[in-house]
Structure 1
Amino acid sequence: MVTIDVASVANEDELHRLLQRKFGFPDFYGRNWSAFWDAVSGLVFIPEHVRFTGWELLAERVPGEAMMLSDCLVRYRDLYRPGLRVEYL
């Protein structure tokens, strides 16, 4: 399991930098949602259980980015990892 605290994230770039660090994305990661999809669907292995803490604060500060992240992970689960468990606390 990986736990990612998103409570202090204030913008899209901060979120992508945090995701890059926590998921081990390569240095060339483009820090956008297309690059995120490319990374999770073919470059790195996402753990079976991902827990986001501080989700309500993220959704208040950058609601569009929170939605994009959630949507990408649902799509990833549906296409590649039916056993993936993601918590938004």
Structure 2
Amino acid sequence: MTRLAVVEIDLSEVASASELHRALKDALGFPGWYGGNWDAFWDAITGLVPMPIQLRISGWDALSRSLPADAKLLQKCLARMKSEYPESAADVLFH
């Protein structure tokens, strides 16, 4: 599978966990049956789709304010992937 060089996701307008998962699904190309939860997100990034070389997440401050628990879980999943699967993980920029 070919990895995209850069994927950008704007999360500044996300107001719910379901909107967050929909934005992640659309930007990263998850399959239609993606479950929209953090276990499904982990499964998708580690086995279903190739992660881009760089993932640029904008609107991070807004997401952290509106959905602090989900923002932390997203950050945790991406950091865990970088630790456990460094060769296939994205370099993530939060801004």
RMSD over aligned Cα atoms: 1.0
Unpaired segments ≥5 residues, structure 1? none
**TM-score scaled to structure 2, two decimals?**
0.90
Residue number in structure 2 paired with 1:24: 29
Gaps (5+ residues) in structure 2? 1-5
* Counterpart in the other structure of 2:18: 13
- Is residue 51 from structure 1 mapped to residue 56 from structure 2 by the alignment? yes
1:65 aligns with 2:70: yes
List structure 1 segments (4+ residues) > 6 angstroms apart after TM superposition.
Answer: none
- Distance in 2, Cα, partners of 1:85 & 1:24: 17
How many equivalent pairs are there?
A: 89
Matching residue of 2:90: 84
- For residues 47-67 of structure 1, give each alpha carbon's deviation from its aligned partner in whole angstroms, at most 9, with x where no partner exists: 010011110000000000000
- TM-score normalised to structure 1 length: 0.96
- CA drift at 1:85: 1.1
1-structure distance, mates of 2:35, 2:83: 24
Which residue identity lines up with residue 56 of structure 2 in the other structure? Answer: R
Map Cα deviations across residues 24-53 of structure 1 (whole Å, 9 max, x no partner). 000110000000000001000010100111
Tell me the distance in 1 between the aligned counterparts of 2:90 and 2:31. Answer: 22
